[in-house]
Amino acid sequence: MSAAKITAADAVPSIAASVESNVAESRRRRIRSPYPTWFFVPTIALYVVFFAIPTVFSFYFSLTRWSLFDSHFIGFANYVQFFQDPQLYTSFIHTLIYAFLTSGSKVVLGFLLALLLTSPVIGRGYLRAVVFFPVLLSTIGVGILWKSLLDPFHGMVNAVLGWFHLPQPGWFTNPSLALYSIAGVDIWKGVGIATLIFMAGIVAIPHEYFEAARMDGAGAWRMLREITIPLTRGATATVIILSLIGGLRSFDIIWATTGGGPGFTSDVIASVIYKQYQAGFYGLSTAGNVILFLVVTVIMVPLSYVLNRRSVDL
Amino acid sequence: MLSRRATKVVASFSGAALLGAALVACGSSNGSSGSSSGSTTISLLAGGNDPAATKFANDMATAFEKANPTITVKVETRPGGTDGDNLIKTRLSTGSMNDVFLYNSGSLLQALHPDQTLQPLTNEPWAKDITADFKQSVSTSQGLYGAPVGTTFDGGVMYNKKVYQKLGLSVPKTWAQFISNSEKIKAAGITPVLVSYGDTWTSQLFVLADFANVSAQDPNWATDYTNNKAKYSNPPALAGFTHTQEIYDKKLMNKDFASLTNVNALKELATGQGAQYPMITVTISNVLQSNPTQVNDIGYFAMPTESGDPHATVWEANGAYIPKTTTGAKLDAAKKFIQFMYTPEGCSIQNSAGVPAGPYAISDCTVPANAPALVQDELKYQQAGKTGLALEFLSPIKGPNLEKILVQVGSGISTAAQGAALYDQDVKAQAQQLGLPGW
């Protein structure tokens, strides 16, 4: 991959992270750091060399027709062409569906699993490991694994459905189902990290609150609504931000399972950009990455601001 | 594009040990220190990383080292398809390309800017022996840059001769005959047309292998297409799209079309579970590995046409190239290596490690008598003069999304007309990115 391409996509989480840390920073501004500033130099040098400089270059190369051998400055022609891409509109809709579906599911499922796994259930340690395990796997590996499990004719899942005479859908091959199947795999893989964050949030709530509420006669439902949910808002914000950014930029799992297919029915913006890159349209795909970067920023910066302000207000 | 996928899928041309990547660095440093003592090390980048490509490169390197004890050849493999394209472009643009690399000819080669990046091979002793078509596909106005690797091959329909015999069918010339044959095959409980969208590149054959027919009807089509005048939305080129749709509409394909892979489709063709498969003949080497006893049950016919005068679409052989960054003793050794491929020993390795899927592009090597049966079918078109080059050797433009668009057409997601219009748009994007005049 070209350096510029990596950067434009990878700079996105660092933006969101810096938004988060800026908010935290303003709260901590008065506290003097015990470490000298020059401790930052190695990190900053790496950041500048591998992120900042390539990012600036990528803005330039997005304005060129670039064959890796030479580049011609062509103004905004790449942007014009990118917005004329016949797949752009559908892939943008797919991206939003995918991002909000996976993010929402991870929040709900992650929270429910965290509630379960912080309560005294049998085999809690084992269950925690099981839920977290998919997070440790390589995304491409997960994609290949599920592609084989969900194969419409030879896959294990459809074989089991067949025993019970249930319909055996073409999970990744049915045009109207493919995107949702991939979202399902993404949720399976990513819910562990959401659960972990929620568990940390729930465990951090002081026990006194629950005891006091119980003394006042609050039931389990009331305690959940009045104590657990409000006091894990910080965790919720983190899960939403991380999973939404991940969903908007999602590429690897889609590429490993369907490659955006059948046809273009599970294409997202990132896979459209990758295909342009594959075709040797280096300038055009860099322009696409700049746009993806802007889209993610436009969605995430206000969202991150709102979510973090609320957690401060509490 | 089709033929570079073929390179990966097939087995023809080059390859190497997995350790190659790690060894190349050591290899080149050894080489520079070694050349003072009279020995040279060159590195060879294979045409893919599948077993046959790997075997081809390793066998050729071993035989060459035996004949030239002072030269060591380190073999390295690479991914096929578009990942391979990017790897090669990156290496050439950063000056880190292997001393010899194996790659497609035609429009993919032109995208490497050969005048700036490759050593001219115009005055090599073998250059006079190559065919005019191959010469055109590896040359620019300034010189010849590539040496042929393996044979040319055809695109069209591969079919199971035993099924045809059993049902008393004859090779179709018109599209209507092809459809009526297919209906009869379907009635006999055999898959009439194998469709394998599990490997999306295979969706393109009805269009790409029809190109010799398009050229036969309109000899200027490729030039007009490059000049933004001829479009896929109009006949004669539209036929490939409508044929793709018709197979779906008439349910003449296998049920698992969306997930079947190329290798498994070839197995079904060899065993007679499927009767016809629009394909490039170079894939026969996979059948040789999976169903060696049934290789000769498979025949070939050119893509049938409305008019009934089918022409075989020919893909040129892949090429071996030397980058400009290879100089001095390494350049001499690299040129020696390429020359070795056309010695009797080199030719016999080309015949054994790759499977001949058509005639050679160089007169020094000949197809052996025991070549797969479908090669004989291909030669008939050659002898009758009913062949034409694939579009990728006649025009630099190939839209990157053709395979996906045809999956849509062939799976009933969109119509042939919609698909062709979409592809014309895709072609426009490619032409604009190439900076061609008139777009």
Q: Say if the Cβ atoms of B200 and A259 lie within 8 Å.
A: yes
Q: Say if the Cβ atoms of B430 and A279 lie within 8 Å.
A: yes
Three-state SS for chain B is CHHHHHHHHCCCCCCCCCCHHHHHHHHHHHHHHHHCCCCEEEEEECCCCCHHHHHHHHHHHHHHHHHCCCEEEEEECCCCHHHHHHHHHHHHHHCCCCCEEEECCCHHHHCCCHHHHECCCCCCHHHHHECHHHHHHCEECCEECCEEECECEEEEEEEEHHHHHHCCCCCCCEHHHHHHHHHHHHHCCCEEECCCCCCHHHHHHHHHCCHHHHHHHCCCHHHHHHCCCCCCCCCCCCHHHHHHHHHHHCCCECCCCCCCCHHHHHHHHHHCCEEEEEEEHHHHHHHHHHCHHHHHHEEEECCCECCCCCCEEEECCEEEECECCCCHHHHHHHHHHHHHCCCHHHHHHHHHHCCCCCCECECCCCCCCCCCHHHHHHHHHHHCCCEEECHHHCCCCCCCCHHHHHHHHHCCCCCHHHHHHHHHHHHHHHHHHHCCCCC
Give the pLDDT of residue A26: 53
Q: Which CATH architecture has domain B2-152+316-367?
A: 3-Layer(aba) Sandwich (3.40)
Q: Are strands B143-144 and B318-321 parallel, antiparallel or unpaired?
A: unpaired
% of chain B at pLDDT higher than 70: 92
Contacts of A152 in chain B (CB under 8 A): 256, 258-259
Q: Which two tokens stand for residue B51?
A: 């077993």
String of DSSP letters for A211-261? HHHHHTT--HHHHIIIIIHHHTHHHHHHHHHHHHHHHHT--HHHHHHTTT-
Which of A68-72, A187-191, A202-206, B136-140 is predicted least confidently?
A68-72
Q: Say if the Cβ atoms of A277 and B86 lie within 8 Å.
A: yes
- Are B192 and B308 contacting, i.e. CB atoms less than 8 angstroms apart? no
Distance from CA of A63 to the nearest CA of B (A): 12
Give the pLDDT of residue A310: 58
Nearest by CB: A86 against B85, B422, B435: B422
Indicate which of B433, B436, B439 best probes the interface with A, i.e. most A CBs within 10 Å of its own CB.
B433
Give the residue numbers spanning the domain of A245: 3-313
B399: number of Cβ within 10 Å: 20
- Are A246 and A105 contacting, i.e. CB atoms less than 8 angstroms apart? no
For B147-186, the pLDDT digits (tens) are: 999 889 999 999 999 999 999 999 999 999 999 999 999 9
Q: Which two tokens stand for residue A129?
A: 């490991």
Contacts of A263 in chain B (CB under 8 A): 404-405, 407-408, 411, 413-414
Distance (Å, rounded) from C-alpha B198 to C-alpha B407?
10
Indicate which of A61, A67, A157 best probes the interface with B, i.e. most B CBs within 10 Å of its own CB.
A67
DSSP 3-state percent helix, strand, coil across chain A (nearest 5): 75, 0, 25
Which of A41-45, B249-253, B275-279, B365-369 is predicted least confidently?
B365-369
Give the pLDDT of residue B438: 86
Q: Say if the Cβ atoms of B93 and A69 lie within 8 Å.
A: yes
Total-model pTM: 0.81
Domain boundaries, chain B: 2-152+316-367, 154-314+374-434
Q: Say if the Cβ atoms of A278 and B404 lie within 8 Å.
A: no
* Nearest residue in chain A measured CA to CA from B414: A263
* Nearest residue in chain A measured CA to CA from B428: A81
Q: Which two tokens stand for residue A124?
A: 């809690």
% of chain B at pLDDT higher than 90: 66
Amino acid (one-letter) located at B44: L
DSSP A62: T
From B194, B359, B204, select the one nearest B273 (Cα to Cα).
Answer: B194
Indicate which of A140, A153, A154 best probes the interface with B, i.e. most B CBs within 10 Å of its own CB.
A153
Distance from CA of B421 to the nearest CA of A (A): 11
Give the pLDDT of residue A292: 87
Q: What is the mean pLDDT of chain B?
A: 87
For B211-245, the pLDDT digits (tens) are: 999 999 999 999 999 999 999 999 999 999 999 99
Give the pLDDT of residue A8: 41
Q: Say if the Cβ atoms of B407 and A284 lie within 8 Å.
A: no
Which of A11-20, A36-45, A245-254, B125-134 is predicted least confidently?
A11-20
Give the pLDDT of residue B288: 82
User: What is the number of structural domains in chain A?
Assistant: 1
Contacts of A275 in chain B (CB under 8 A): 400-401
Complex prediction ipTM: 0.78
Q: Which CATH superfamily is domain B154-314+374-434 in?
A: Periplasmic binding protein-like II (3.40.190.10)
Confidence of residue B1 (pLDDT cuts 50, 70, 90): very low
* CA torsion angle B245 B251 B256 B259 (round to 10): 0
For A91-107, the pLDDT digits (tens) are: 999 999 999 999 999 99
Distance (Å, rounded) from C-alpha B213 to C-alpha B387?
9
For B288-344, the pLDDT digits (tens) are: 878 889 999 999 999 999 999 999 999 999 999 999 999 999 999 999 999 999 999
Q: At residue A2, does pLDDT exceed 80?
A: no
Interface of A with B (CB under 8 A): 1-2, 65, 67-70, 72, 77, 81, 84-87, 151-153, 170, 172-175, 259-265, 275-281, 283-284
Q: Say if the Cβ atoms of B429 and A263 lie within 8 Å.
A: no
Confidence of residue A110 (pLDDT cuts 50, 70, 90): very high
For B27-77, the pLDDT digits (tens) are: 343 334 344 457 899 999 998 887 778 888 999 999 999 999 999 999 999
* Nearest residue in chain A measured CA to CA from B421: A86
Give the pLDDT of residue B427: 93
- Are B252 and B179 contacting, i.e. CB atoms less than 8 angstroms apart? yes
Q: What is the mean pLDDT of chain A?
A: 85
For A251-305, the pLDDT digits (tens) are: 999 999 998 889 899 999 999 999 888 888 889 999 999 988 888 889 888 988 8
% of chain A at pLDDT higher than 90: 51
Q: Say if the Cβ atoms of B86 and A151 lie within 8 Å.
A: no
CATH number for A21? 1.10.3720.10
Which 3 state secondary structure label does DSSP give A79? helix
Q: At residue A116, does pLDDT exceed 60?
A: yes
Give the pLDDT of residue A296: 85
Q: Say if the Cβ atoms of B90 and A68 lie within 8 Å.
A: yes
Per CATH, B2-152+316-367 and B154-314+374-434 having the same topology is answered yes
- List beta partners, residue B41: B72
For A131-185, the pLDDT digits (tens) are: 999 999 999 999 999 999 999 888 999 999 999 999 889 899 999 999 999 999 9
